[in-house]
Amino acid sequence: MSEDRTTATESGARARTRRAIVDAAVVLLAGDPTASLGDVAAAAGVGRTTVHRYFPERSDLLAAIGTDVLEKVAAATERARLDDGPAAKALERLCQEYFELGDGLTLMFETPQLANWSGWEEETAADEHFLRTVRRGHAEGSIDPELDGEWVRNLVWALLYSAWEHTRTAGASKHSAMTLCLHTLRKAIAP
């Protein structure tokens, strides 16, 4: 095997291991924010020393989770096609995309350390696109103009959190929780 191919294979393996650790940590910490790095290692199917090699401190793992969640939010925002069709429908698509990020976003809401993380941007490109969509909805008449963009954004996050909680605590299916979320959103933002 050539040296370049060996390096690429190692890089691929390292990336997969890192991804497995971050993914396991998101799911585990969303359910138990006090879980240890040893618990994360077990959930990821790796040794504790492996986790420490990638993330020497808990704060390093939390920073990686924060970066990962922000990247997923950006990708979900793109998939929602916020510039297509009526703005109110675009926000519904966005809710559906964001709903699939449940564990990661729940963790962001429930872990104060992540809100204070230096990599957390106050206004991301996704936030700005959201606010532009609300303004477009005001102009086209699909979103109540008395509801300012920040209010609508906070409303969407509150509805999503309620939907995730409904699945976790009430045992509702994802489908029924999303149906309730979208139904409430439609009524709340209607002009």
Examine the pLDDT at 53 and tell me if it is beyond 80: yes
100-123 pLDDT, tens digit each: 998 888 787 777 666 555 555 668
Number of domains in the chain: 2
Among 56, 85, 101, identify where a domain stops. Answer: 56
pLDDT score for 10: 54
- So what's the pLDDT on residue 32? 86
70 in the same domain as 5: no
Domain termination site, one of 56, 73, 96: 56
pLDDT tier at 9, thresholds 50, 70, 90: low
Question: Distance between CA atoms of 127 and 154, rounded to whole angstroms?
Answer: 11
Confidence of residue 6 (pLDDT cuts 50, 70, 90): very low
Whether residues 135 and 181 share a domain: the answer is: yes
On whether both 115 and 135 belong to a single domain, the answer is yes
Q: Is the pLDDT of residue 179 over 50?
A: yes
Across 8-17, 66-75, 153-162, the highest mean pLDDT is recorded for 153-162
Give tens-digit pLDDT for 124-143. Answer: 899 999 999 999 999 999 99
For residues 36 and 89, state if they share a domain.
no
Question: For the residues 181-188, what does the mean pLDDT come to?
Answer: 98
> d(Cα 9, Cα 99) in Å, to the nearest integer?
34
Asked if residue 32 lies in contact with residue 42, where contact means CB atoms within 8 angstroms, the answer is: no
- CA-CA-CA-CA torsion sign (15, 17, 18, 23): positive
Q: Kindly state the percentage of the chain with pLDDT values over 90.
A: 65
Q: 117: Cβ–Cβ under 8 A, 6 or more apart, which residues?
A: 62, 63, 66
Same domain, 145 and 123: yes
More confident residue, 7 or 78: 78
Q: List the domain range (segments joined by +) for residue 36.
A: 1-56
pLDDT at 63: 86
Question: Domain check: are 51 and 71 in the same one?
Answer: no
Highest mean pLDDT among 61-65, 67-71, 76-80, 107-111: 76-80
